[in-house]
Chain A
Amino acid sequence: MLTDLLGFPPQVLFGQLLLGLINGAFYAVLSLGLAVIFGLLNIVNFAHGALYMLGAFTAWGLAQFLGLNYWVALFAAPVIVGAFGMGLERFLLRRLAGVDHLYGLLLTFGLALVIEGVFIKLFGASGQPYPTPAALTGGINLGFMFLPWYRGWVVVASLIACGATWYIFERTKLGAYLRAGTENPKLLQAFGVNVPLLTTLAYGYGVGLAAFAGVLAAPITQVSPLMGSNLIIVVFAVVVIGGMGSIMGAVVTGLAMGLIEGLTKVFWPEASATVIFLVMAIVLVLRPAGLFGRVA
């Protein structure tokens, strides 16, 4: 019997592993969005955490003011926030074409400050509750642990989003254009493809992924203005560990880092906030290009 695993009751161990898996799913979806945006725009989107928060708040607002339920929000919020993101790209980020990529990071940092600042002013730093959808309340006893349905759903939905992204990029014509735009935008433009439009779409898609993660997170964590700001720094570390070269790399690294964080919470709780940064430091020493990165 697994009553006592390394001195920890299995409920604690598996419970933390599940939490780690959920966090890992968020890391995966967010770093995937960052990678999509980086591929086409060469910009590291510092506003990603703020847009994740915006996704959660959109879901909350749809429920609060329009009475729309979770399932509608799960599709509507990414579309709304994605459209907002496309506006940001079209009217602000596009003006930075041709200047040092660092300015893109600075611009999106400024945008993150503005978005988060406005929401703190409107809603305060504390969170708004968002109910778990009725169909997913409760859970199942697996014998070694209790699995709440909603938490299982978050992992499944995140993996579906990652799989869909993989399919779009690797198996569709649009994906072929996007990959070509990552490799050589000028040549692609010469072939008559509207690269600026493609870039706007890519930004919108990456942002939409962030908003999707935000909606998924809303019933677990409270909907608060600062829910994205610390998360995004961890996601940056995940991106440094995995590299932004491949979709699989982002997903695998994200999930693995979540699990490592979960395990650390069981065996060495004090280090759980820093373990991913520690892994990043070790990877930088042993494999400076990142686990899945190509040498720049």
Chain B
Amino acid sequence: MTTKLGYAAALILLLIAPVFVYPVLLMKFLCFALFASAFNLILGFGGLLSFGHAAFFGGAAYVTGHAIKVWGLPVELGILTGAAAAGVLGLAAGMLAIRRQGIYFAMITLALAQMAYFLFISAPFTGGENGLQGVPRGHLLGMIDLQDNMAMYYFTLAVFLAAFWLIARTVHSPFGQVLRAIRDNEPRAVSLGYDTDRYKLQAFVLSATLAGLAGGLKTVVFQLASLTDAHWHMSGEVVLMTLLGGVGTIAGPAVGAGIIVALQNTLASGPLSAWVPVVLGVIFVICVLSFRRGVIGELQALIRRSF
């Protein structure tokens, strides 16, 4: 009941937010909330720490930008192309990474993402250090002009909500239950007859695809795809958002993304702008040491204790 009320309140807030807050900032938040929620699918519910999700986010950002700007695809198709490309990339990376467990999984995904990063630097279609600039937002379904920030905001919100719903459905589906069983006790899941590698790979591909959806959306919002999107700092940031909001909770990653985006936005204009990585690092350390359940995790624990 509390959960449903919470979601209803959040939805209303999101619907009226652009009246009060600069829409581009809100769209940035939505992209990262989607990115973190997709990432949480594999960390929170699959128990696999991917340190290479920036490759899917950044890769899709480039593909979407290229598809819209050079191939002239309509914006919806461009974003879907980006997400599909991230899914293919996720399939390739996932097939390699699930061959090892635990800590090695993190190192392998990080190394593969670094490889992708170097390819993006040298590939001709990414524009190297300059990135892919001036990607046109175009018209949604050929009718609605997305150059208007309000229209763009509600389009972004719709994509976010659809993906968020898909993630929540996946987590609560039988597939999600098996995934959680694998996370909690893989040998047991194997003994029950589940092909755990297949489940892990499917979850990884889904997570990569949705991360790509977030990346493609980001390209359209900012009309830019750059190396920053694919850098390992970005992989670290999405881990931090998820951790801060609550690993393995449905709403946590979005809350964490909100906190980090708001923090970056506040710090960027102040005297602390050069200290942003240090501040993020300190939050990381504090979270890991004494706040491992995250904001939503702590809230849930509080509600459970008091009722």
Taking beta carbons and an 8 Å cutoff, which residues of A are in contact with B?
38, 42, 44, 92, 95-96, 99, 101-103, 105-107, 109-118, 120-121, 230, 233-234, 236-237, 239-240, 270, 273-274, 277-278, 280-281, 284-285, 288-289, 296
Contact = CB atoms under 8 A, between A and B. Distances in A.
A24 to B, nearest CB: 17
Given A117-B281, A239-B107, A281 B112 contact: yes
Contact of B278 (A103, A117, A236, A296): A117
A113 B280 contact: yes
A107 B291 CA distance: 12
Contacts of A117: 275-278, 281
A233 B239 CA distance: 17
Interface SS of B by simple majority = helix
Interface string B92-121: 000011011111101110111011001100
A114 B236 CA distance: 13
B111 A240 contact: yes
Interface residues on B, range: 35 or more
A145 to B, nearest CB: 28
A237 B278 contact: no
B284 A113 contact: yes
Nearest to A115: B281
Nearest to A102: B49
Contact of A240 (B100, B119, B283, B289): B100
6 contacts: A106-B49, A106-B284, A109-B236, A233-B114, A236-B107, A280-B108
B111 A102 contact: no
B274 A237 contact: no
Contacts of B232: 233
A42 B102 CA distance: 11
Contacts of A102: 49, 102-103, 106
A116 B284 contact: no
B59 to A, nearest CB: 15
A103 B118 contact: no
A36 B108 CA distance: 20
Nearest to B288: A107
Contacts of B122: 270
A138 B118 CA distance: 35
